[in-house]
Chain A
Amino acid sequence: MADNTTFRLRVITPDRVFYEGEVNMVELNTTEGQIGVLPGHIPLTVIIKPGILKIYEDGNEKEAALHSGFVEILPDGISILAEIVEWPDEIDEKRAEAALARAEERLKSKTSDVDMSRAEAALLRAIARIQVLK
């Protein structure tokens, strides 16, 4: 590495390479909480929780809704293996809001036939989608 201010980010989904490039910093939500990764990080594997992926490029900032997958962090690069990840213009706002309402409804009802963990995951996904649009 010539300078220590950028490192390589790769976001791969099962169907495409979502993002590939040199970045200054990456922020994302993991099961252990929000983290920001700078170049030269210790090797770390974390699991993604639905949230916003923030990519800080040279003088440029990008956001995407990242829902599930895991991240492999190495000192000179990050690979995000995402099952679902979307740019803001790929998100259907109405659908996300409907999903949010539905998930809240399910969580409130608390009947035994509702899969709580799945409803919660749906809620988090919907919140992440709506947040990234704003």
Chain B
Amino acid sequence: MASMRDIKRRRSSIQGTQQITKAMKLVSTVKLQRARAGAERSKGYFNSMFATVNSILSKVGHIEHKYLMPGESQKKAVIVITSNRGLAGGYNSNIVKLVTRHEGWKKEDLEIYAIGGKGRDALAKDGYYIREYNTEVIESPTYEDAMVLTRHLLDSFSAGEIGEIYLAYTAFKNTVSHIPTMLRLLPVEIKDTPEQADDKAGAIMNFEPNEVEALDMLIPKYMTSLIYGALKEALASENGARMQAMDNATSNADEMISDLSLKYNRARQSSITQELTEIIAGAEALG
């Protein structure tokens, strides 16, 4: 059995760790509140954007438009949104797995646009080509950040360097549920939704300029809003994941502490018993 002193030392070290995990949990709870409010504020814009683009697409149908068809290049650009810091449970590794285990994707065909250090490090170690990376954006995402990224991606898409664009991020459903999500940005997926045409009281939408020119301008904005929304949600998910991880760590520490306390008391008791036995044995020998 471990000595009393060893047990005591171990217990106090776990108590120290527990204080850290407790503090980290509180910090990420506060950050989560803020990030979630931010994500919810951008939802209205995003939803209207989504509805409009969808109604245009369902109206124009399958027209030949550069943003609606895959480019000739085999290359795929993947935006990978992760965090800069760890200790968030499976948050970062789930996103990385989404990319590395994607069916039918070859490592050589992928160009990674990494946002957040953890995803970049993991993918670079695996031998993926990191085309661009940025670690500052994820700390406090702005709409301008999303605009810059969209412009870079569309430039390479128009130049024929990449044929498809994907977005890997963690969708924020609620505080405890975060879903790693892979989304195709370009070519835009046309969802045939008949109910789309029916809402707005059967109004026939007109476009000025015409649909094709409108798409030229709308799709970049649509992409930007998707990326922006993803950044906001990823930030909320990161803090939610960290909060959960730290909560688990804190309760695990509680368990270990009570286990060690029990062991410590047992060790103390047995040492007292042993001393008593020795004293009695000594007294008997004398008597």
Contacts and interface: CB of A to CB of B under 8 A. Distances in A.
Contacts of B224: 83
A72 B44 contact: no
Interface of B: 38, 41-42, 44-46, 48-49, 52, 56, 143, 147, 200, 203-209, 213-214, 217-218, 221, 224-225, 228
Contact of B41 (A16, A72, A79): A16
A12 B41 CA distance: 10
Interface in A74-124: 74-75, 79, 81, 83
Interface of A: 12-17, 30-32, 42-47, 68-70, 72, 74-75, 79, 81, 83
Contacts, number: 72
B199 to A, nearest CB: 11
Given A14-B45, A17-B44, A81-B45, A44 B207 contact: yes
Q: Which of B41, B206, B208 has most chain A Cβ within 10 Å?
A: B208
A79 B49 CA distance: 10
A43 B214 contact: no
Q: Which of A14, A31, A42, A47 has most chain B Cβ within 10 Å?
A: A14
A45 B41 contact: no
A70 B208 contact: no
Given A14-B143, A15-B41, A83-B143, A43 B221 contact: no
A72 B214 contact: no
13 contacts: A15-B38, A15-B41, A16-B41, A17-B44, A32-B208, A45-B205, A45-B214, A47-B208, A47-B218, A69-B221, A70-B214, A72-B52, A72-B205
